[in-house]
C-alpha cells in the first residue's frame, strides 16, 4: 500500500507543483465499487476555484496517462476530488502558520494548551499574542495548532443603516 501511494504521489505532486500549489494531503478510499481519490492543495495566495478546476483536469489527465502506460495507480473506476484542506486541518508546517497570520489558534506550547493570535511565523517558529503578551515559540515546542473560528466583532462591521428607518419608509411607500 505504501509503494502504491508513493507511485500515486509521483504522478500527482509534479502536476500540483506546476500549478503553484502545495500538496497538503492525498488519500484513496473505497466507496462502493469505486475508489475516491481525495487531494487537498493550498498556496500562500489561497485557493482559487477556477484554478482548482483546471488543476483537477490536469491531475485526471496525468493519472489517465500513467494508467495508459501500464502503471495501475487506482484499481478500477475512481472519482477524483480536489480541494483545499479547510479551516479545521491542523497547523503542522511553517507554511501553515504563515498562511494563518492574524488568525486565532489553539495550540499546545510545551505541553500547555494556549489560545493566541498568530502575529508572525518564519522558518524558526511562531510569534503568538497570548493574552496581550508576545510569545515567540520554536516549532519544536509547538503541537499541531487549530484555527479558532471567530465571528466578526461588532466594531469591525461597516456602519449599517438603521433598520427602523428602512421599515418606516416601506410603510409610507405602501400606503
> What total number of domains does the chain contain?
2
| Residue 143: per-residue pLDDT | 94
Indicate if 127 and 75 belong to the same structural domain: no
Q: What angle do CA 140, 16, 34 make, to 5 degrees?
A: 100
Q: Residue 142 falls within a domain, yes or no? A: yes
Among candidate residues 52, 83, 114, the one where a domain is terminated: 83
Among 58, 83, 108, the domain-final residue is 83
Q: What is the DSSP string of the chain?
A: -HHHHHHHHHHHHHHHHHTT-EEEEEEEEEETTEEEEEEEEE-TT---HHHHHHHHHHHHHHHHHHHHTT--SSSS-EEEEEE---TTS-B-SHHHHHHTTT-EEEEEETTEEEEEEEEEE-SSEEEEEETTEEEEEEGGGB--BEEPP-PPPGGGSPPPPPHHHHHHHHHHHH-
Q: Are residues 113 and 53 in the same domain?
A: no
- In 3D space, the residue among 105, 61, 65 whose CA is nearest the CA of residue 80 turns out to be 61
Q: Which residues of the chain have pLDDT under 50?
A: 163, 165-171, 175
d(CA 164, CA 143): 49
pLDDT score at 164 = 52
Contact 74, 8 (CB under 8 A): yes
Together in a domain, 49 and 74: yes
Share of the chain above pLDDT 90, in %: 59
Full residue range of the structural domain in which residue 105 is found: 94-151
Pairing of strands 34-42, 78-83: parallel
Identify whether the C-beta of residue 123 lies closer than 8 Å to the C-beta of residue 166.
no
Are 71 and 7 in contact by the 8 Å Cβ rule? The answer is yes
* pLDDT for 44: 79
User: Quick one: 8 and 73 in the same domain?
Assistant: yes
Residue 157 lies in a domain: no
In a domain, 172, yes or no: no
Same domain, yes or no, for 105 and 129?
Answer: yes
- Residues 85, 100: Cα–Cα separation, whole Å: 13
CATH of the domain at 131: 2.30.30.100
Can you give the pTM of this predicted structure? 0.68
Amino acid at each position: 500500500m505504501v509503494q502504491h501511494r508513493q507511485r500515486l504521489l509521483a504522478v500527482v505532486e509534479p502536476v500540483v507543483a506546476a500549478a503553484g500549489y502545495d500538496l497538503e494531503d492525498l488519500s484513496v478510499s473505497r466507496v462502493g465499487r469505486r475508489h475516491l481519490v481525495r487531494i487537498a492543495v493550498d498556496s500562500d495566495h489561497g485557493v482559487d476555484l477556477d484554478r482548482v478546476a483546471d488543476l483537477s483536469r490536469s491531475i485526471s489527465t496525468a493519472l489517465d496517462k500513467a494508467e495508459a502506460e501500464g502503471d495501475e495507480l487506482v484499481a478500477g473506476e475512481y472519482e477524483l476530488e480536489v480541494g483545499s484542506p479547510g479551516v479545521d486541518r491542523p497547523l503542522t508546517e511553517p507554511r501553515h502558520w504563515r498562511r494563518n497570520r492574524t488568525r486565532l489558534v489553539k495550540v499546545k506550547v510545551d505541553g500547555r494548551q494556549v489560545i493566541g493570535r498568530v502575529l508572525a511565523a518564519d522558518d524558526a517558529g511562531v510569534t503568538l499574542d497570548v493574552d496581550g503578551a508576545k510569545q515567540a515559540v520554536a516549532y519544536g515546542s509547538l503541537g499541531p495548532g487549530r484555527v479558532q473560528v471567530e465571528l466578526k466583532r461588532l466594531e469591525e462591521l461597516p456602519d449599517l443603516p438603521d433598520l427602523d428607518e428602512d421599515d418606516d419608509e416601506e410603510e409610507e411607500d405602501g400606503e
